[in-house]
Structure 1
Amino acid sequence: MQSDIDLRSLLGIVRRQLWLILSIVVGLTALAAIITYSLEPRYSASAQVFVDTAAKGILDADEPTRNSGSDNARVDTEVVITRTDEILLSVINSENLVADDEFGVKISLTDRALQLLRLKSAAAPEPEEAAADVLDNFRDSVRVSRRGMTYVIDVTVTSEDPEKAARLANAVAKASIQKQMDTKVAAIREARDRVQPALEQARQTLTSTSRSIDTFIDRNIELLREQGSPSVGMFYDELTRIRSQRERDFQRLQTLDQTIRQNDYASLFQNLQSDAARELQQRQEELAGQIAQADANEAIELRAELQRVTESIRNEAARAMDQYRGQLATAEQQETSIRSNLLNAVMGSNLPDAAVGDLYSLANQVQSAKKNFDDLSMQAGRMDILAALQLPDSGVISNATPPREPSYPRKGVILPLAFMMALGLGVGLAFVREYFVGGLTSEDQVETVLRLPLVSITPREAEETKAETGAQTLSDIIIRSPLSMFAESVRRIRVAIDQHLFKKQGIREEGSGGTVIMVSSALPNEGKSTMALSLARTYALSGKRTLLIDCDLRKPSLHRHLGLEPSTGFVEFLRGAETGASLPKLTVTDQPTGLTVLLSGRRSSFPTDDLFMARRSHA
């Protein structure tokens, strides 16, 4: 029951303060809508990047083992790396965001005001400062996050233009992947660069040890021819011939390269010594002579043909150089093979022990240097291949597309939230106004504030109620509509008075006298006459002999409620005037209820205190 009463009380507060609540809700919601729709929309586009934590090279055959802890750390690291300034700066440079209207260098309103007041110079910002401003603007628009516990990273860019947002999101994702590639390739190339000095040292060691063997054989060739097998001399002579031929080819190659660089065609033709070269030389000389005798138009065509002939000469020289390079490579292979055969033949010869020991020592040094050189050369070559065949550990699995709806402001969230906040604020202010600003509105509130027991609350009756019941005044509702809320509230007052008298006096005996009930108010026009007449009629209708006295001698009003003419008899009686009238003759009867009423006359022209003083003196 108490919860029903509380709910009814709350609903009553809402009903009484409904206009306040509605005005706050409508006003704040409209304000939020105006602000929301006035904001410039911003669009967010996202690209999804998959991070492969296996880190498997393209030449690796074995599948590496996985570790969930390291995988999570790897993905989180990629999230941090994607937001680094280096990647964002690469996107700024590639997309030319320095000149962009949204992310580029802009003068703030504060700076403009300071410039107008001549408190700050209007000079353009320094390049470093401008780049930092663009980086800050772009960084605020980029959001990189991991999707749950997956291996997918969302790269989101927010911009005023949906197409720009998608383009920049894809650019950031690609820049991050390219950074992975560059980092891996740079690491491999750094390792290769560390190997190169060791490889060059191994080459020099191999060359020096090989020359030591050649020097040993050159010094002892006569002895080897005499004591060794016949193949020693044959291999040595063939090796000498190949060396001489390789030296001549190398000299020709250098000469051709030098003449081409210097455009020395006369020396070039002498070194080429081929029919094609001689024909090209002859055609070049003919064209040069024709150009000297031709007019301007013919000279243009002849110069173009001369340019083609010159290009053919260069091509012929390049072909000859390629031929010499091939001969050098073949000679080098033959030299290596014959040197190996010569060394085997020498090792099989009948040499002194000291010479054999020196030769074996040199041979072992050559083998060791060759193995070291081959290993380092293989590693350097493998690193070059790895650098060329590297793949990124991440890949874009979904490119960003231009969004259709703006991500800011989120009207579907802001407006309902603004409505709920406005509703809560309106209800809160309604309770504040109900309990702290407005008057007393409930029985509990009256008892709490006044700290007095409350008998009843009389409802406010509208004029329509009196018209429906045919009542002239509110007190007539007691007769015309005895079941109305107003009549019920007056009966509650009567019951409360009776209960109070019963508790105080008990059951009264016949002839013990009547009970006086005074009705008063703190301020004028608060309804004391209406309430006194209504209460008296209630007692009269209940069968009690009731006398109602209008003691408002300054401004009597009961006669208006009863529709009677005022009488000055009561005032004259109180003054002690000799009118010959007694109190019973001064009373009138309310016909509908049988109530006895003692009316008062119009406002007295003298103080009412004199009436009581005169009455006491007369007595």
Structure 2
Amino acid sequence: MQSSEIDLKELIGILRRQSRLILITFFVFLIPAVLYLMLATPMYRATALISIDAGGSNLLDPGSIENSQSAILNSRVDGEVEVLRAEATVMAVVQAGDLISDPEFGPRLGLTEKITIALGMESAGDTLRQAVGLRPADPPSSERLVSNTVQKLSGATEIRRRGLTYLISVGVRSESPQRAADIANLYVATYIDRQVLTKSASIIAARDVLRSQTETARIELARLEDALNSFIDDNLARLEAESNNESISALRRQLEAAQSSKVESVSVLAASREAAARNDWASAAVTLGDAALEQLANEREALARRLSGETAGSQTAIDLQNALSDLDRSLGARLAEAQTSVEGELSALTQSETLAREQLREALLQSNMSSTVIADLFNLQQSASIARNQYQQLLARVQDLNALANVQIADARVVSEALPPTSPASPNKRLIIIMALTAALAMGVTLAFLNEYYIGGVTSTAQLANVIQARIPVAIPALPSSANERIPADEIMVSPLSQYSEGFRKLRLAVDTNLHQSLSERGVSEAERRKARVVLICSALPGEGKTTTAIALARTYAVSGQRTLLIDCDLRKPSVENYFKLPHQDGLIDYLTSQKPDADLVVTPVLDQLSNLEVITAGSRSTQPTDQLVNSPRFASLLEVVREAFDVIVIDSPPLLPVVDTRYLAQMADIAVLIVRFSNTTQGEVRDAAHQMQDALRPGVRMLGVLNRQTERRGKRGYYNGAYSGYYGDSTT
């Protein structure tokens, strides 16, 4: 099978094993979201739209906005956003709408006050204070009540700039649709009124400071500038006809064309920016008339449709998402390039308009008109020029302030009044449900993998190698479903060519290889090497497949032609006899606890019916601590005798963590094999068992790890509560 198929199976297996945790996490996240949607009060949001004259409403120079820098204009719009958010503006709205008495925004009793009033205890607090010599608590002041209302209105109001345009939206949330629209409209109206008052007050104050010294000069300069501009603007058509000069007509048409083209360019640029702000690439491409941008927008739309049809988290979805991100960057770059081109055109139009005005004035002065008109025009222009040079910026400012003080208008206007919304803005049920489902599923899967790889059991040979810091020769595969009714160890004889049997042959090869290397490193004599090799099979806990592995490995050795002996040293809870379905007879425990002299003792191995394997069963259950038995001279003597008669001795030992017997057996082993059941034993338990085994082994003796993927016939809880207790239980039971 391909590695990708194996990874997919493992992934599905992890999710199946952790399905309970995933479901619990899923509902933990989903239920609060559903309860919130059921209990939350629907809130409606009405939005009013205002436009800011970023250059200022200067009636004396309506075209002054054209000469302003973009950064300054943007700063002005951003500043107006902050003015709208200011507490003083909110306070003015509260006063204008009398929101202190409003049932939604005005002061309301809290839960404690409601309970106190319901119980008739509203005066109990003051009575208690008087009893201890304190004065009654002061009632809330009017300033505090207004402040609470201001905070509520600020929290219910959203003010933001629409992209890079000069439009600002003022949105208000309320429990009532009509109330939300009324307050939003009141908000913008109050803001505009305050803006007019503020501008007027500041201009009047500045004008009064300068008027005492420059009144005469200001009036003269204002008169001359107004006269020059009015003369040209009011008499342009008559002057053009009187001069009969084609250049003046051409300049007039050039000026009007530049103004018209400029308005169109500004509209295109604003529309494209607004479309880009809402990621509407197709509309931006059509507005700008850019074929390359339109093609990229079509490609993105096709890619997004493909992505919506893929499973979230899959490799294809990730690849499509990455491609979509790259395409978004390309779209942004192309859009910026197209907008830069439009901005260049807009700049050229501005320059053309300015140049046309200057050329028009020069052409009028040089045209063939009556001497009276030429004299009037020249005198007005010369006088204004002299006034500007003489008084420079100070007198120009005085004139502007004087004019603006008399005819001040707001720099903002309402372009769209707020209307009562037809549907609530919050809670957004669809968004909340999608977010809750996504978060629940993501957190469930995350916790599942954390539990699988870090909190729960061992799931891979690489993970096991990191935990026990030892060689991992093989992972014993799970039996196919057709073999579930057989004893796993019988698979070695019944299906010798199966993947399960091949796994044990790999284990046998790894044991032989490491034994040979270990004996060479330890410098064991040739005579000692001719004795049987003692292979200790151990595990951290019961139920990890230790006995099954011992039998299967021993059978593998026996089938290969080697004289093999299996000894059941799990004296606390013998199980080898049950595996082979042997009638009860005296075994190792009876041999070790017998009162007969050593010369009269005999322990008879039992021959396996499926192989040439010989087995020494545990026999009767021990009535004394078994660690004394496996650490006794009699057991050591027995082991020395059988080592002379066999080639391989496989010892099935008790689990390491419940009892101490295995640590004594480890001192007699030539190699140890630690069995760990897949996703069953926690990493801490495996690590503790490995440390105990490595500490007990003789110097130079190696330990191997084996990951047992065989499905456990009974749950781990049963081993803890049943089999585990058997190692500690009363010997008489």
Select the residue among 125, 145, 150 that pairs with 1:118. 125
1:188-238 C-alpha deviation (Å, 9 max, x unpaired)? 9999999xx9xxxxxxxxxxxxxxxxxxxxxxxxxxxxxxxxxxxxxxxxx
Among 144, 152, 157, the residue aligned to 2:159: 144
Aligned pair partner of 1:446 in 451, 464, 488: 464
Letter in 1 for 2:551: L
Contact 1:53 1:393 in 2 (8 A): yes
Aligned to 1:302: none
CA contact (8 A) 2:54 2:65 kept: no
Q: Which stretch of structure 1 is more off in the superposition, 547-556 or 446-455? A: 547-556
Match of 1:612 in 2: 634
Residue number among 158, 180, 194 corresponding to 1:179 in the alignment: 194
Task: Kindly state the Cα deviation for residue 385 of structure 1 after the two structures are TM-superposed.
Answer: 13
Who is 2:444 aligned against? 426
TM-aligned CA distance change 1:443 to 1:64, over 3 Å = closer
The equivalent of 2:488 in structure 1 is: 474
Give the aligned partner of residue 66 of structure 1.
66
Residue by residue over 1:490-546, the C-alpha shift from the partner in whole angstroms, topping out at 9 and shown as x without a partner, is 22321112222443568x999985624344546667655433322222123233343
Q: 1:502 to 1:611 in 2, by over 3 A?
A: closer
Alpha carbons of structure 1 residues 461 and 122: separation in structure 2 relative to 1, 3 Å: farther
Secondary structure class of the residue paired with 1:134: helix
CA contact (8 A) 1:146 1:153 kept: yes
The CA deviation at 1:9 is 6.6
Structure 1 position 492 matched with structure 2 position 510: no
Contact 1:466/1:477 (CA < 8 Å) preserved in 2? no
Equivalents in 2 of 1:417, 1:116: separation in Å? 47
Alignment-derived partner of residue 517 in structure 1: 534
How many Å separate the matches in 2 of 1:54 and 1:526?
80
Q: Cα–Cα, structure 1 residues 456 and 185, in superposed 2: closer, same or farther, change >3 Å?
A: closer
Q: Which residue of 2 aligns with 1:399?
A: 417
Aligned partner of 2:647 in structure 1 is none
CA contact (8 A) 2:159 2:169 kept: yes
* Contact 2:157/2:172 (8 A) holds in 1: yes
**1:570–1:600 Cα contact (<8 Å) kept:** yes
Farther off after superposition, 185-194 or 409-418? 185-194
- How far residue 166 of structure 1 moved from its aligned partner, in angstroms, is 1.3
Instruction: Give the Cα–Cα distance (whole angstroms) in 2 for the partners of residues 54 and 125 of structure 1.
Output: 45
Residues 400 and 442 from structure 1, CA distance in 2 versus in 1: closer, same or farther, beyond 3 angstroms?
A: same
1:131 and 1:552 mapped to 2: Cα distance? 81
Matches within 5 A, 1:237-256: none
Aligned equivalents of 2:586 and 2:111: distance in 1? 84
Helix, strand or coil: the match of 2:420? coil
Amino acid corresponding to residue 397 of structure 1 in structure 2: V
1:78 paired with 2:83, answer no
CA contact (8 A) 2:78 2:161 kept: yes
Unpaired runs of 5+ residues, structure 1, are: 198-382
Q: What's the CA shift string for 1:239-293, capped at 9, x where partnerless?
A: xxxxxxxxxxxxxxxxxxxxxxxxxxxxxxxxxxxxxxxxxxxxxxxxxxxxxxx
2:169 match: secondary structure: strand
Aligned equivalents of 1:407, 1:496: Cα separation in 2? 67
Instruction: Using the TM superposition, give the Cα deviation of residue 410 of structure 1 relative to its aligned residue in structure 2, in angstroms.
Output: 3.7
1:236 is matched with: none
1:157 to 172, 176, 200: 172
C-alpha RMSD of matched pairs (Å): 5.0
Distance in 2 between the 1:83 and 1:598 partners? 88
Aligned equivalents of 1:117, 1:497: Cα separation in 2: 84
- Whole-Å Cα distance in 1 between the matches of residues 637 and 34 of structure 2? 76
| Structure number, greater radius of gyration | 1
What is the SS of the residue equivalent to 2:66?
coil
Q: Which has the higher contact order (CA 8 A, sep 6+)?
A: 1
2:608 equivalent to 1:590:
yes
**What is the distance in 1 between the residues matched to 2:204 and 2:573?**
113
Give the counterpart letter for 1:147 in structure 2: R
In structure 2, relative to structure 1, the CA distance for the partners of 1:116 and 1:424 (3 Å cut) is farther
Aligned to 1:106: 108
- Deviation, structure 1 residue 49: 1.0
Is 1:565 the equivalent of 2:583?
yes
Conserved? CA contact 1:56–1:63, under 8 Å: no
- Cα distance, 1:524–1:125 mapped onto 2, change above 3 Å: closer
2:29 matches 1:32? no
- Report if aligned partners of 1:478, 1:538 keep a CA contact under 8 Å in 2: yes
Alignment of 1:287-436 (within 5 A): 391-434=409-452
| Contact kept? 2:44, 2:176, Cα under 8 Å | yes
* Distance of 1:134 and 1:39 partners within structure 2: 21
User: What amino acid does structure 2 have at the position aligned with 1:394?
Assistant: A
Q: CA deviation at 1:26?
A: 2.6
Aligned partner of residue 125 in structure 2, secondary structure? coil
Distance 2:62 2:610 in 1: 114
Q: Measure, in 1, the Cα distance between the counterparts of 2:189 and 2:181.
A: 12
2:56, 2:65 within 8 Å by CA — same for their partners in 1?
Answer: no
CA-to-partner distance for each residue in 1:288-343, whole Å, 9 max, x for gaps? xxxxxxxxxxxxxxxxxxxxxxxxxxxxxxxxxxxxxxxxxxxxxxxxxxxxxxxx
Q: Identify if the C-alpha distance between structure 1 residues 79 and 476 changes in structure 2 by more than 3 Å, giving closer, same or farther.
A: closer
**Helix, strand or coil at the partner of 2:20:** helix
CA contact (8 A) 1:554 1:608 kept: no
- Distance of aligned partners of 1:134 and 1:65 in 2 relative to their CA distance in 1, 3 Å threshold: closer
The 8 Å contact of residues 540 and 546 in structure 1, kept in 2 or not, is answered as yes
Matched letter for residue 80 of structure 2: E
Counterparts of 2:572 and 2:167, CA distance in 1: 92
Structure 1 position 102, deviation (Å): 0.8
The AA in structure 2 aligned to 1:478 is I
Q: For residues 367-426 of structure 1, what are the alpha-carbon distances to aligned partners after superposition, in whole Å with 9 as ceiling and x for unaligned?
A: xxxxxxxxxxxxxxxx99996x76544221111122234333344444444444444443
- Counterpart AA for 1:27: V
- SS of the aligned residue for 1:143 comes to strand
Classify 1:494/1:169 alpha carbon distance in 2 versus 1 (closer, same or farther; 3 Å): same
1:168 paired to 2:183:
yes
Kept in 2: contact 1:192–1:384 (CA 8 A): no
2:517 alignment partner, one of 503, 519, 526:
503
Take 2:472 and 2:104, find their aligned partners in 1: how far apart are those partners? 69
In the superposition, relative to structure 1, how do residues 559 and 48 fare at CA in structure 2: closer, same or farther (>3 Å)? closer
Q: Is the 8 A contact 1:555 1:602 kept in 2?
A: no
Separation in 1 of the partners of 2:444 and 2:52? 51
Q: In 2, are the aligned partners of 1:146 and 1:154 still within 8 Å (CA)?
A: yes
Change in 2 beyond 3 A, CA 1:547/1:85: closer
Q: In structure 2, the residue corresponding to 1:454 is in which secondary structure?
A: strand
Measured after TM superposition, the shift of residue 159 of structure 1 is 1.6
CA displacement at 1:158 relative to structure 2: 1.9
TM-score, length of structure 2 as denominator length = 0.47
Q: Could you say if the C-alpha distance between residues 28 and 117 of structure 1 is closer, same or farther in structure 2, counting changes exceeding 3 Å?
A: farther
Unaligned runs of 5+ in 2: 130-135, 213-401, 642-733
